[in-house]
Structure 1
Amino acid sequence: MFRRLFPLVAFGFLSLAGATAHAAEAPVRERIAFNADWRFHKEAFRENEFLKGDAGRSGPADQPNAQPGFDDSAWRKLSVPHDWGIEGPFRQEYPNDTGKLPWWGTAWYRKHFTLPATDAGRRVYLDIDGAMSNAQVWINGRHVGGWPYGYASWRVDLTPHVKPGGANVVAVRLDNPPASSRWYPGGGIYRNVWLVKTAPVHVAQYGTFVTTPLVTKASATVNVEVTLDNRGADAEVQVATEIYALDGAGKRTGPAVASKAPASPWKAPAGHQVQLTQALTVANPRLWSTAAPQRYVAVTTVTDKGRVVDVVETPFGIRTIAFDAERGFLLNGTRLTINGVCQHHDLGALGAAINVRALERQLEILREMGVNAIRTSHNPPAPELLDLADRLGFVVVAEAFDIWGLKKTPNDYHLHFAEWHEKDLRAMIRRDRNHPSVIAWSIGNEIVEQGAREGWKVAARLSEIARGEDSTRPTTAAYNHVGSGYNGFQNAVDVFGYNYKPHEYAKFHEHAPHIPLLGSETASTVSSRGEYFFPVSDDQSKGQANFHVSSYDLSAPPWASPPDKEFRGQDDNPFVAGEFVWTGFDYLGEPTPYNSDSTNLLNFTDPAQRQRMAQQLDSLKKIAVPSRSSYFGIVDLAGFKKDRFYLYQARWRPELPMAHLLPHWNWPERVGQITPVHLYTSGDEAELFLNGQSLGRKKRGPREYRLRWDDVVYQPGTLQAVAYKDGKRWAEDTVRTTGKPAKLLLSADRQAIRADGDDLSFVTVTIADKDGRPVPRSGNRVKFTLSGPGDIIATDNGDPTSFESFQSRERNAFNGLALAIVRTRAGQAGKLVLTATADGLGSAKVMLESKGP
């Protein structure tokens, strides 16, 4: 054991315990959901406000809206998490790249609450998991702090100004400047809010840090570092820790598997923090892995003169991680190829407002594809994402920044970097370092400093900060400038990440054979679900029409490539740890190739090529782009799988018998014309049949990842592929020419949902012919109604060119599919019936049930 003392002023209001727990006798610590019953007001929109480029910083000066006597009765009543931008309206004249939604502006949130008189003498904190952005907080008219970075989690201390036994008002002002993001950031208090109450002596914010420095099959050493925060008088405290195994739901499974009884009392001087470490041993540890995400919880109990004053629970996992320059990434000593995707933080039709079930659904779909890793692009994630990754078994690269001191947009994070980068980086790592899923800290993405002579020094400083907070995980960064591998940046991080550089893997490894290498961002293939354009070309700049991109999966921006090229790069260079594909899901904003995003010019080392690209991007700024969302996703914005899903599934789940044919087979205008057919399969050869006639059997050659029949002449009927593996029948797929749309089919991802006001059911509508076969090119308009204790909170169809409100109860199907999202009402159990109707197709119903706890 050792002890260190820190004055409490060291981190201001960055002092929050990391978890919720209750002693048996009394709630010595309370962490109360503080999401309900807020009042919201967004200041009037100023014409052309988004063109001014005014960051509009909000300071701590007294504001009428912050005063307790201010009349907010006319303000809108709502619950957070809340994203005002997703409510729209969509407007064509909004900037091209950020979703066509009004996410910028200034807004206020106010909440009235009463504290019981028994809270006198306790510390009271407000914890905000994320607010976009430039937040300032008042309690009872007194300014108590704030935080500019919209992706950070932070706390303010309400204690000096709250009134136990009386009425209180907390006010939050957000100032979300225009031109501050390259993608859709959302606006508002978009993550969860908590009211935390503790004794004066308590475990500090993020005040437990669990590490496992020695792990064998027989035992694991578990070190629990505890930081105590004394906001009261001098005290002498004792600290004890018990470790319990958790089941898949996060519940304890039996008695403690290890414990450390309190030693002699520790002196905790008033106004200081005390840090101590306890070492425990767990026999026969259950290791956390992606295949078996087994976890433990460390329960830390603090007593003062025999009285329990704090109890904190810290979930963690026992596992070992390592990046090796020759073997890639090792989890528990065994290579785990990183089959990863990059994910932005928005949840499609739900916007940026966090919802655990929506996140869980995304991960379930990605897991089906074979994904085992997530890169949080390009910012600290919601805490709930890491909780889910721990429980479901995903490894995570947690990323801190997209910008350092040099800007990408006029009002982005470069305005805050000098003052806030250390606070933001430390806050992210301290919050997230107990998650077994986190395997690396990314200090930046495609930062402009890559081209600066001494830019590597910034990277080195950020890595130094990260290692000071957590020496158990490596640092990394995502570099898109080829020169970053040779100009000093490669030595500033522990694991080097290349974006879109499979052709550089061998050269980099020869130059720096001691540095582990990762495909930190790959492919960036673009496609629209269910859209196919002819003729089919291997020129990746082709395949575009009507502001859509062909789903033959051969199209990509100039800096990127189809998936096949990245696959070859990794197969030729097996020392590469794996890849993070851009992106798992489509996201709001950045509708490449129909946008004016110029940040990737660093990918072009040839000056003439860079100039031509700059001119092309400049011309796009003059185009009114009818696109709201990206085309990069392997899954579309509504959560429907694109063809590419099966190309990655074939590679990442080779043990799964699967075959997927494309395109669909409804082409009446193409009778007699060449219509290429591609097959994605985990088999090694396949035979193609059209109306029972063989069109040939093909075997996949070395470094081939799809089977192609490029000379198929279209005839309506049945197209069938039979795949083989090692000469044996393995899997098959069939596509048929369908009849006309005749009916609707409804299917819910879950029919039983919790009556907690947050749980969701995602209901898919399929336009089908009379035989129940999906009609691929149909776009019938579907109307939704719901009966029972729930609400339709959003609809979508995955069409990146659709500007219809996500809150609309009507939606055109896009290539045969549409989506309705149903949410329960808190405390209201019962039956729900969702009905979909379409002219000429009748109606269809799906039964749901909202159940109590």
Structure 2
Amino acid sequence: MVYDLNPDWRFVQADVPGANATTFDDSSWTTVSVPHTYNDVDSFDNWITSSGESAVAMQITWYRKHFTMPAGLAGMKVFLEFERVRQAATVYVNGVQVGLCEFGVSPFGFDITDRIRFGADNVIAVKADNTKWRPEQAGGVGFQWDTRDFYPEYGGLTHNVRMHVLPRTYFTLPLSMNLGTTGTYVFPSAFNIPGATAAITAQAQVRNEDSAARTVTVSANLIDAGGALHATIAGSAVSVAPGETRVVTLSQRIPGLRFWSPASPSLYTVEMVLSIDGAVVDAYPVVTGFRKTAFQGGTTAGGVYLNDQYVYLTGYAVRTTNEWAVIGGAVPEWLTGLDGQLIRDSHANLIRWMHVSAPPNQIRMTDKYGIVSVQPAGDKESDVTGRQWDQRVEQMRASMVYFRNSPSILFWEAGNNWITAAHMSQMLDLRRTWDPAGGRAIGCRAISDSSAYGGTAAVDAAEYVGTMLNRHYSVYARDRKPVIECEYTRDEAPRRVWDNYSPPDFGYRTGPDVTYHWTSEDFAATVAASSRYEFWSQRIQGPGDRRYAGAAALIWADSNQHGRQYNWECARLSGRVDAVRIPKESLHSYRVMQNPAADIHVIGHWTYPSGTRKTIHVLASAAVHEVRLLVNGTQVGSNSSPAYDFLYSFPDVAWQSGTITAVGYTTGGTEVVRASKTTTGAAVALKLTPYTAPGGLRADGSDVAFFDVEAVDSAGRRMPTHQARVDFTLTGPGTFLGGFNSHIPGSVHKSAVETEAGVNRVFVRATRGAGTLTLRATASGLTAATATVTSTAFTTTGGLTVLRS
């Protein structure tokens, strides 16, 4: 049985003596539900610096949860699982410390069997500590990755908390961090791709904590995504001695499989079944997918192959917090899924997670949406020695054990920068020990045959090689390994500033400490196309010279990591979407450039002041060979010579009210795609559109709904140059969290927000009470708008909710 422990914790943002005690009075503390962070209110609220935002709270806080364990479960094993706590968590059960985890990255667990009171009240207390540069308690050595610029600071119980109740003979959990167990490893082999068959092997770690030997039979049910039983893998009986932990292996050839790939991310549940004397005593589900992989070097056949097909990898480099403004790093899972959908809609199929391992919710997202992942361990930007290297090795082992059944992970990243050949060999040994059959490669960014970056021995020990801005590319590595460009653009631009001709800004006027001065048009046109061109045309698809297996643009969403718009913006603005996931024009550019089919996008809008004459930029995919530009049906230009492969520019186009259209043609003159922008009238009203999880808003205390607020004209069309204050009032069982303006310090968690390019997004958090929430938006000179959502009740019994039984 698995219990959800997310709802109804008591929280205090202070270090309170005695808070671990069972009898401690926490009635004055705030009631919160997980995922939860206290850095949602103090992030994205001040100017960005070279080391991220400096004013976020870094301190000790406490969480306490009361629950009643059913008396009928007496005698069972009980384990706690935390999916992530940044940076350290000291955990107490009924006043007694059960463990400490200080790594701040991977999931971890504790055996709390001896501390649980069955049929009575229990208290879990967690001392969560994200104090700046907190050293490891034993030895006083800090963790290399404990740094807010490369691992943005979000303290608290930011990810799921689960409680597992198991029999005395049971399948272990994949929690090598603290528990030291390895769980079940499922992998395919002996593929027949055309015949849709493969051998499926499961290696299940079984532990006997009964007082006598147990003869157990391990089998597995293979269940498809629709819940239907696809096959059963039989196993033979084995004896497990008292106190023994052993791995039981079963394997069977399975026909009719659907293989996982970005184009078809088919998932299965392998339900491991443990029986004693014919009775099922434990069942453990492993969600996974089956795919055949190959990793090759060379200029003609080099690259990554999935299911015997070459797959070019294209996408984004993302900090693993993947944080949002307003809600910080404590993101409901459905919003993580929104990221996945947006990424796939942009025709990307790769995320290179940066510096520390992506948490389970992010990897569940990449598994579901077919996004290949590069999964790191934990580091900053250099090799290390001594205890800090040992910490990285331990973190990589924990990540491998926990995530080795995830089909989207194709790469383990041993370092964000080069490491020595000896260290690379040690990481390769880890992969061979803990993930020998998972179809994954381990490598490192920045190693090359140069002795300054590890040398040929480091390249030889790696199974793939990463570069950054092409700085570490080498022919030696290319000829032997797949090469992935890990970060091929760093520029920044805000969403709100269209171009030099659009009110109210008429260009991006910046302060003296700002590095990048791009408007949205610059960022989506010249910057996007030129940086993409360097790797697409010059280094990836060159005739007979396939240099790169894939490339990741920095970043996905505007972030609270370090940026370079110092003293001018409250976020790093390198994203394809902004910090609340409203698309920037750049997202459409990448959608077009990453689309193998015919695609086209007119950058910007078509609502300008009278007399405007400007260059119009159009992005068209490689399937387009000529673009013709029309204004109100009349052709005003034709271009068959794009800059940087994708960018078609039309200078000195005179604006006139109506519609501008870009039409794409093949080399033979056949129209294959078109896109238009239309002039809007003056804004006369506000429009509110609510969004919730597919199942609706849950009254669990942590779920959120968001509302898009738009300034629209009399025909209901968004007015693209509207930028003004909008005020909000909320009634009903919810908490208004507000929205975000990157150029306004302190804009988050306020009752007002400005529209940017005619739109913004605000958030509401559900409380524990169910009912109808009504949001009202008002702005000077515009008709007000209202929208409602209804939250559904979320019940617990004795403080517990059963997730699986």
**Which of 94, 112, 129 is 1:140 aligned to?**
94
Q: Which residue of 2 aligns with 1:443?
A: 414
CA pair 404-582 structure 1, distance change in 2 beyond 3 A = closer
Checking the alignment, whether the CA contact within 8 Å between 1:751 and 1:847 is kept in structure 2 is no
Q: CA deviation at 1:667?
A: 4.4
d(CA) in 1 for partners of 2:71, 2:772: 41
Q: Which residue of 1 aligns with 2:259?
A: 287
Q: Which residue of 1 aligns with 2:138?
A: none
Q: Which residue of 2 aligns with 1:193?
A: 161
Q: Which residue of 1 aligns with 2:431?
A: 466
d(CA) in 2 for partners of 1:94, 1:74: 35
Q: Which residue of 1 aligns with 2:647?
A: 706
Structure 2 residue identity aligned to 1:509 = V
Alignment of 1:26-65 (within 5 A): 30-43=1-14, 64-65=18-19
Q: Which residue of 1 aligns with 2:184?
A: 208
d(CA) in 1 for partners of 2:692, 2:118: 43
CA pair 590-420 structure 1, distance change in 2 beyond 3 A = same
Q: Which runs of 5+ in 1 are unaligned?
A: 1-29, 45-61, 408-413, 537-541, 596-624
d(CA) in 1 for partners of 2:123, 2:731: 37
2:340 paired with 1:356: no
Instruction: Find the residue that maps to 2:62 and give its secondary structure.
Output: strand
Instruction: Find the residue that maps to 1:784 and give its secondary structure.
Output: strand
Q: Which residue of 2 aligns with 1:19?
A: none
d(CA) in 2 for partners of 1:292, 1:556: 31
Q: Which residue of 2 aligns with 1:812?
A: 754
Q: CA deviation at 1:189?
A: 1.0
Q: Which residue of 2 aligns with 1:258?
A: 232
How many matched pairs? 745
Instruction: Find the residue that maps to 1:590 and give its secondary structure.
Output: coil
Instruction: Find the residue that maps to 2:19 and give its secondary structure.
Output: helix
Q: CA deviation at 1:198?
A: 1.2
2:286 paired with 1:332: no
Q: Which residue of 2 aligns with 1:366?
A: 343
**Which of 672, 685, 706 is 2:626 aligned to?**
685
CA pair 802-566 structure 1, distance change in 2 beyond 3 A = farther
2:716 paired with 1:791: no
Alignment of 1:720-799 (within 5 A): 720-726=661-667, 727-749=669-691, 753-757=695-699, 759-788=703-732, 791=734, 793-797=736-740, 799=741
Structure 2 residue identity aligned to 1:403 = K
d(CA) in 2 for partners of 1:533, 1:356: 35
2:497 paired with 1:531: yes
Q: Which residue of 2 aligns with 1:611?
A: none
For residues 439-481 of structure 1, give each alpha carbon's deviation from its aligned partner in whole angstroms, at most 9, with x where no partner exists. 11112213xxx3xxx7332233223213311023111222289
For residues 752-810 of structure 1, give each alpha carbon's deviation from its aligned partner in whole angstroms, at most 9, with x where no partner exists. 6435335544322221233333222222212233455x53553324x422333432232
**Which of 369, 383, 387 is 2:364 aligned to?**
387
Q: Which residue of 1 aligns with 2:59?
A: 105
Checking the alignment, whether the CA contact within 8 Å between 1:241 and 1:298 is kept in structure 2 is no
Alignment of 1:411-810 (within 5 A): 417-446=388-417, 450=418, 455-471=420-436, 472=438, 473-479=440-446, 484=453, 486=455, 488-501=457-470, 505=473, 508-509=474-475, 512-534=478-500, 545=510, 549-553=518-522, 562-568=531-537, 569-572=539-542, 573-592=545-564, 594-595=565-566, 625-656=567-598, 658-668=599-609, 671=611, 675-682=614-621, 683-690=624-631, 694-701=635-642, 703-712=644-653, 718-726=659-667, 727-749=669-691, 753-757=695-699, 759-788=703-732, 791=734, 793-797=736-740, 799-810=741-752
Q: CA deviation at 1:35?
A: 1.3
d(CA) in 2 for partners of 1:738, 1:755: 34
Q: Which runs of 5+ in 2 are unaligned?
A: 134-146, 175-182, 795-805
CA pair 700-525 structure 1, distance change in 2 beyond 3 A = farther
d(CA) in 1 for partners of 2:358, 2:632: 50
Instruction: Find the residue that maps to 1:676 and give its secondary structure.
Output: strand
Instruction: Find the residue that maps to 1:489 and give its secondary structure.
Output: helix
d(CA) in 1 for partners of 2:717, 2:698: 36
Alignment of 1:22-171 (within 5 A): 30-43=1-14, 64-88=18-42, 92=46, 97-99=51-53, 101-171=55-125
Instruction: Find the residue that maps to 2:233 and give its secondary structure.
Output: strand
Structure 2 residue identity aligned to 1:322 = A
Q: CA deviation at 1:494?
A: 0.4
Checking the alignment, whether the CA contact within 8 Å between 2:478 and 2:547 is kept in structure 1 is no
RMSD: 3.2
Q: CA deviation at 1:556?
A: 12
2:288 paired with 1:312: no
Q: Which residue of 1 aligns with 2:140?
A: none
CA pair 696-98 structure 1, distance change in 2 beyond 3 A = same
Q: CA deviation at 1:190?
A: 0.5
CA pair 578-816 structure 1, distance change in 2 beyond 3 A = same
d(CA) in 2 for partners of 1:335, 1:176: 43
Checking the alignment, whether the CA contact within 8 Å between 1:509 and 1:515 is kept in structure 2 is no
For residues 180-202 of structure 1, give each alpha carbon's deviation from its aligned partner in whole angstroms, at most 9, with x where no partner exists. 22152211110010111112221
d(CA) in 1 for partners of 2:82, 2:777: 38
For residues 404-445 of structure 1, give each alpha carbon's deviation from its aligned partner in whole angstroms, at most 9, with x where no partner exists. 7768xxxxxx99634532332111111111111211111221
Instruction: Find the residue that maps to 1:84 and give its secondary structure.
Output: coil
CA pair 700-444 structure 1, distance change in 2 beyond 3 A = same
Moved more, 337-346 or 188-197: 337-346
CA pair 398-89 structure 1, distance change in 2 beyond 3 A = closer
2:269 paired with 1:269: no
**Which of 781, 790, 801 is 1:840 aligned to?**
781
Checking the alignment, whether the CA contact within 8 Å between 1:100 and 1:589 is kept in structure 2 is no
Q: CA deviation at 1:707?
A: 0.4
d(CA) in 2 for partners of 1:233, 1:118: 20
Moved more, 659-668 or 748-757: 748-757
d(CA) in 2 for partners of 1:87, 1:574: 47
d(CA) in 2 for partners of 1:94, 1:584: 17
Checking the alignment, whether the CA contact within 8 Å between 1:133 and 1:150 is kept in structure 2 is yes
The structure, 1 or 2, with the larger RCO (C-alpha pairs under 8 Å, 6+ apart) is 2
For residues 379-422 of structure 1, give each alpha carbon's deviation from its aligned partner in whole angstroms, at most 9, with x where no partner exists. 22221222232223222222222337768xxxxxx996345323
Checking the alignment, whether the CA contact within 8 Å between 1:689 and 1:720 is kept in structure 2 is yes
Q: CA deviation at 1:694?
A: 3.5
d(CA) in 2 for partners of 1:701, 1:815: 28
Checking the alignment, whether the CA contact within 8 Å between 2:377 and 2:392 is kept in structure 1 is no
Q: Which residue of 1 aligns with 2:801?
A: none
d(CA) in 2 for partners of 1:323, 1:212: 17
CA pair 214-529 structure 1, distance change in 2 beyond 3 A = same
d(CA) in 2 for partners of 1:480, 1:350: 37
Checking the alignment, whether the CA contact within 8 Å between 1:354 and 1:382 is kept in structure 2 is no
Instruction: Find the residue that maps to 2:162 and give its secondary structure.
Output: strand
d(CA) in 2 for partners of 1:648, 1:228: 47
Q: CA deviation at 1:676?
A: 2.2
Moved more, 547-556 or 374-383: 547-556
For residues 48-72 of structure 1, give each alpha carbon's deviation from its aligned partner in whole angstroms, at most 9, with x where no partner exists. xxxxxxxxxxxxxx96222222222
Q: CA deviation at 1:38?
A: 1.4
For residues 710-734 of structure 1, give each alpha carbon's deviation from its aligned partner in whole angstroms, at most 9, with x where no partner exists. 4445666653322223412233333
d(CA) in 2 for partners of 1:201, 1:404: 44
Checking the alignment, whether the CA contact within 8 Å between 1:549 and 1:555 is kept in structure 2 is no
Checking the alignment, whether the CA contact within 8 Å between 1:765 and 1:818 is kept in structure 2 is yes
For residues 721-748 of structure 1, give each alpha carbon's deviation from its aligned partner in whole angstroms, at most 9, with x where no partner exists. 2222341223333334543322122334
d(CA) in 1 for partners of 2:571, 2:310: 36
d(CA) in 2 for partners of 1:480, 1:555: 31
Structure 2 residue identity aligned to 1:429 = M
Instruction: Find the residue that maps to 1:545 and give its secondary structure.
Output: coil
Instruction: Find the residue that maps to 1:773 and give its secondary structure.
Output: coil
Moved more, 110-119 or 201-210: 110-119
d(CA) in 2 for partners of 1:813, 1:701: 34
